[in-house]
Structure formats: C-alpha cells, structure tokens
Amino acid sequence: MKKILALILILCMVFALSSEAFAAGKPKITKQPETATTSKKGSVTFTIKVKGDVSYSWYLVDPATGEATSAQKLKKNKTIKGLGINGANSSKLSLSKVPESMHGWQVYCHINGNGYKMDSDRVLLLVYGKESPADSSSAPEEPAQVPETAAADQVPESPASTEQVPDSPEQAPDSPEQTPPDTSNTVITGDIDPDAAPPVDRTITVTASDAILRKLDGAGNLIEMDPVSSLEFLNTGSFIVTSDEPVKSWSVNGIRFEPAEPVREFKVMNVKDDITLNVIVSRSSAETMQLDNNRMCKVTCKGCTFTFLGAGIRSATEGEVPAGAPIRVVVSGSAANGYQINGSEPQYQGKTSFSFTVNEDVEIVVP
C-alpha cells in the first residue's frame, strides 16, 4: 500500500512539473502581420514575430471560395501562374509577380510550438489601383486551436478587423510595404501627379550577357543585393551592371559604348524600354596560365567559363589547372536546368556561378 501511495505521489509531481513547463513554454505573438499593398506583378512581404521555439506555416485565403491553402502547397503545385513564393515556412513570407486576381486575398500564419497551435490575425493582400474589398470580416475563418491543458483565455484573437483594411491605397499605413507606388523595388521617374489615376502598368525586361545585374533606385543607390542575369521593371527603372572581368565595351540594343579604360561596373538609369545588353569582357587566353609542377587537370566548359582562383589565368573556356586547385564556374545567363559535371545529373539549378575543387579532368556542360 505504501508503495502504491508513493508511486501516485511521484506521478502527481511529474504531472505538475510537466504542466508548469508546458505553460511556461507557450509561444507568444509579439508582432502580427499587417495588410500590405503592391502593384500588378509587384512584390510584397508579410512578417510575424513570435516569442518561443515554433514552426511557421503561411496560408492564403481566396475570398471567392473562402478556401485557405498553404503557401507551401501553392508554391509546389504552381497553382497561381507566375506567382513567386519564398519563406512559406518562415517568419517572413515574400510574394513576387503578384497578379491582379489576388487583390483582396487574406493572409495569415499558423504557429505550432511546444504543443500549442495558434493562428495570427488575418490581413489583406491589396493590389494598387484596385478597389478595396467592401468587408473582410465576413470571410470564413478557422478558429485557432490550443492544447487541452491551455486555458480559454490563451486563444489568440484571429479575426481581421475592418480597421486594418484601407479604404484606398492612399490611406494604407505608412510603411514600405503599403505606401504606393508599389513595393516591387521599381522606381518611377519624371513628374508624377499624386492625384492622377495610376498609369497602365507596362513590364520592361533587361537581359545581359557575361555580367550580373542589380536594381537601383532613382538616385543610383543599390536596392537589390541578389545578382541576376535579367531584371523586370514596371514602367521604368535603373540598374547596375557588374562583371568579374574588366569590361571593354557593351552594346545596348545594338548601340555600342566603349569606356576610355576597361571598367568592372557601370550604371544604366531611367530605363523606359526593353533592353538587351551585350557585354564584352577582357579575358586572358588559356595558354598564358601560370602552372606549377603539380599534376594538371584539364577543365572544359560548354556554355560557360571558368575562373582559376589561384595565381595566373582568370577566365577561359578550356585550359589546365593544378590538381586540387579551386575554380569558379560562371555562366552568362541563368542556368535554369543546372550544370552537368562529367555527365552526372544536373546540379546547381538556377545558379549563375558556383565553385569547387578540381582533382581530375572535368567537363562542365550547361544543359
């Protein structure tokens, strides 16, 4: 009998300690996501801050059906044509190339941590120039879930209030994601009447060979860090061109420009039409490489160039380097399908460059 009582006492203590630890570890949303406005084919970001060790799952709700679909599923199935989704399972959800059809969609984040499950406020995704939804409070919502041991007052409020929905884009909260013009990092230049109706959006495309591109604002300041081989703007924009090799000259839609001395970067401002850049760089020949007495490896690039990261040659499509030498492979465009190395399955998909060590003869092909 004493053993039974002792066992019951121990179980009660364990349960009490477990319950206390469980309650102490309840996640807390410290910053709710906010309604955000973008332009057609623009970009927008939703952010949530949570205290505690949790996992994140963003959901988007179609107002026409009231159906909530995870951002991860939309990304995997490519349900919405052209829509780019990043951070579907992180504290920051980024959407790019947002279509007009998504105007008025609801967005919320589902939090799961330490046995607790809860939803953030539901906020709106608005497209600049479109009429604001009449009322978002009637949209169907799924109630937040909490574990059985949590008290009723621990359930976070999830309905989005109508105060979060601006009557027009001019009344949106003063934040980079919600203040027109759009948040897609495009720059509108020239005289603009703030009271005038927004112009019809026109997409401008910029592509370049043997170079990487980054977006600039109207003053020439860098606003996009990730290098790409092509860019899209709405109506107008500016960008900077950089190259690993000295640039001797470049052509803009067939018009040639040549600096007094080779440069490694140059800016193009206030673009208003599609541009194709042909960048001509200075390269050494493979025969001028500085080789040591180690075993040599032959490197052949098809549809790309390689850069020997040691002393000597800086670029070649074919040449020899010492065994164990680090090299960098660069492709002028986007290697969407990746690279095949000695006939292997394609890897490094979507990368414009990558680095690895050469220990044997290698053939690199851009499919």
Q: Say how far apart CA 182 and CA 118 lie, in whole Å.
A: 31
**Local confidence band at 30 (pLDDT 50, 70, 90 cut-offs):** very high
If you average pLDDT over residues 349-358, what whole number do you get? 87
**pLDDT in the model for residue 60:** 95
CATH topology for 25-171?
Immunoglobulin-like (2.60.40)
Parallel, antiparallel or unpaired: strands 123-127 and 36-38: parallel
pLDDT in tens, 262-312: 888 888 888 888 888 888 776 554 445 555 556 788 899 988 888 887 666
Q: Say how far apart CA 344 and CA 353 lie, in whole Å.
A: 17
**pLDDT in the model for residue 198:** 56
DSSP for 323-347 reads TTEEEEEEEEEEETT-BEETT---B
**Is the model's pLDDT at 201 over the cut of 90?**
no
**Is the model's pLDDT at 254 over the cut of 50?**
yes
Structural domain spans, the chain: 25-171, 203-281, 286-365
DSSP state of 222: B
pLDDT in tens, 132-143: 665 443 344 444
What is the percentage of the chain residues whose pLDDT exceeds 90?
16
Phi, psi of 234 (to 5 degrees): -105, 115
**pLDDT in the model for residue 89:** 92
Q: CA torsion sign, 83 to 84 to 89 to 94?
A: negative
pTM, to two decimals: 0.35
Nearest to 217 by CA among 170, 167, 267, 173: 267
Nearest to 361 by CA among 313, 287, 306, 289: 306
pLDDT in tens, 224-248: 777 788 888 888 889 998 887 788 7
Q: Say how far apart CA 286 and CA 50 lie, in whole Å.
A: 55
CA distances 328 to 100, 218, 357, Å, are 41, 33, 9
**Which contacts of 100-105 are long-range, i.e. CB under 8 A and separated by 24 or more positions?**
100/40, 100/127, 100/130, 102/60, 102/127, 103/127, 103/130, 103/133, 104/63, 104/130, 104/132, 104/133, 104/136, 105/60, 105/61, 105/62, 105/63
**Local confidence band at 71 (pLDDT 50, 70, 90 cut-offs):** very high
**Local confidence band at 48 (pLDDT 50, 70, 90 cut-offs):** very high
**pLDDT in the model for residue 262:** 83
**pLDDT in the model for residue 107:** 95
Cβ pair 308, 280 in contact under 8 A: no
**pLDDT in the model for residue 170:** 43
